Amino acid sequence: MNVEFDFISVLEQWPILLTGVSWTLGLTAISTFLGVLSGLSLAWVRVKKFSALNTFIKVYVELIRNTPFIVQLFFIFFGLPQLGLRLSPEVSSLLAMTINLSAYSSEIIRAGIDSTPIGQIQAGKSLGLSEFSVFFNIILPPALFRVWPALVAQIIIVMLGSAVCGQISTEELSYAANLIQSRNFRGFESYIIAAVLYLVLAVVMRLLLNQVGKNLMFRGLLKNG
Amino acid sequence: MKKYFPLTKIIFKRLLAFTILGSLLNLFSIPVFAQNALETIQKTKTIKIAIPTDFPPYGFVGVDLQPQGLDVEMAQLIAQRLGVKVELVPVSSPNRVAYLQTKKVDLVISTLGRTVEREKVIDFTHSYAPYYQAVFGPKTSSIKSFNDLAGQTISTTRGSLEDTELTKLAPASAQIKRFEDNSSTVAAYVAGQVQLVATGASVAAAMAQKNPQLASEFKLLIKDSPCFIGVAKGEDALRMKVNEVITAAHKAGDLERLSQKWLSRSTGELPE
């Protein structure tokens, strides 16, 4: 068998690949920010035990965590227009990723908060700190630090999961690989290159986010004296 | 060296056996095909025609479970003109040429396009119906030329013939949204996520049939690839006869009627 590889004909299409990497990174960055922020709020509401909201959040979290991402994405892109809500492929992807990460991260962060020793909270309260201050300065930093690796893993999963957003014509990295493959029929080379790019993105993101996590801990320690 | 000798002998013997068996089979098959297809059709008063059943509006199964569509009516028309009964044989896109090569059918009327590769293995009659890839859109949009596509969003199926051609023809500011398959491409248009859709005639016709509220119509022709009837190599008598029927049907306006009925479009130029 004589196999010839032609990586050049794929790499020649670098503008498509670059657009792909940019969309993947951009979508992941924004959905990470919004998703973790909203996950944090949801976790806060759940530990505060506002009963009505709690049930609502529980349903939301179960709904998102027990259905495939692609179904959520298709529902937003192909389903919502029937109700008159038309979102562009990019906004649909962003919304789906944010909603998805929000559900997972709220559970991860809640686990961190729940594992905070009660004495630590009582100590904060006995110092006369406000409810707000106790949560943000005493409970949250060590809680986040404990669950940071899990949270980073979830963010990476969302980044890799964004690969299906190409199905609704968002021009992310897998869409780029598919497009190149359908133009020059170099399937092996296209997907190997896409895989390597994903790998690099994931490793770099993990390193960066781990660094952020470390800073978070020191900031927490400093603030907590 | 001795050890290998018997093995070579066995191989040689088997080869010889296969060759003899092969020639015997050939001997048997010759009498069957000695008579040409046209004579067999006229003698048995039946013609076997391969039609699609999964390709509306050319060939599909109706609510009464009977095959119908442009290709099916064309098959019936040819049988009628030849004065014989028609036996419809459902085939799929990948196996339709094989049905003809193995003489399981006399004709293939199955949206068959004429390509260089196919011409090596089968013969073609004149074309009988148009098939084309085009841009479709709502009646309200005033698209007249490819330049009018500037700033418009168009869905298409990635890697399809229409994707390749449209990418070349459309201006840079046209946004081509590429989807994985025809159903997603159509779904995006039906949901209003894109303004126009570029796809094959049959896909667009099925879409229009299922979604009359969209009032979609033909806008721009991307590429013409008309349908031909496939005949087995060497069946020139049959091919001539079918060509006569097609030419007559064209003159009588039957082909135009079929095209209007199933495709809502004129046949246009039908190459011979």
pLDDT tens-digit map of A50-97? 778 899 999 999 999 999 999 999 999 999 998 989 999 999 999 999
In this predicted structure, which of B15-24, B203-212, B227-236 has the lowest mean pLDDT?
Answer: B15-24
Tell me the C-alpha distance between B123 and B97, whole Å. 10
B162 touches chain A (CB under 8 A): no
Let me know if the fold of B37-130+226-263 is the same as that of B132-224: yes
Nearest to B113 by CA among B132, B99, B98: B132
**pLDDT at residue B26 greater than cutoff 60:** no
CA distances to A70, A152, A222, B98, B237 from A101, in Å: 14, 11, 29, 51, 69
* Chain A: residues touching B (Cβ < 8 Å): 77-78, 81-82, 86, 88-89, 167-169, 175, 178-179, 181-183
Whether residue A2 lies inside any domain: the answer is no
Segments forming the whole domain that contains residue A133: 7-223
Q: How many domains does chain A have?
A: 1
Kindly report the pTM of this predicted structure: 0.68
The residues, ordered by sequence, that sit 6+ positions from A207 with a Cβ below 8 Å of its Cβ are none
A56 in any annotated domain: yes
Nearest to A169 among B159, B164, B179 (CB): B179
What's at A210, amino acid-wise?
N
Question: What are the domain boundaries of chain B?
Answer: 37-130+226-263, 132-224
* CATH superfamily assigned to domain B37-130+226-263: Periplasmic binding protein-like II (3.40.190.10)
**Residue in B with minimal Cα distance to A170:** B177
ipTM surpassing 0.95: no
pLDDT tens string A160-195: 999 999 999 999 999 999 988 877 777 889 999 999
Q: Is residue A76 part of a domain?
A: yes
Contact list, A78 vs chain B (CB under 8 Å): 187-188, 191, 193
Contact (Cβ atoms closer than 8 angstroms) between residue B176 and residue B166: yes
Question: What is the CATH architecture assignment of B132-224?
Answer: 3-Layer(aba) Sandwich (3.40)
Is A86 domain-assigned? yes
| B159 interaction partners in chain A (CB closer than 8 Å) | 181-183
Bridge partner residues of A199 (DSSP): none
CATH number of the domain encompassing residue A90: 1.10.3720.10
Residue B187 to residue A78, Cβ atoms within 8 A: yes
Q: What is the count of residue pairs from A and B with beta carbons less than 8 Å apart?
A: 39
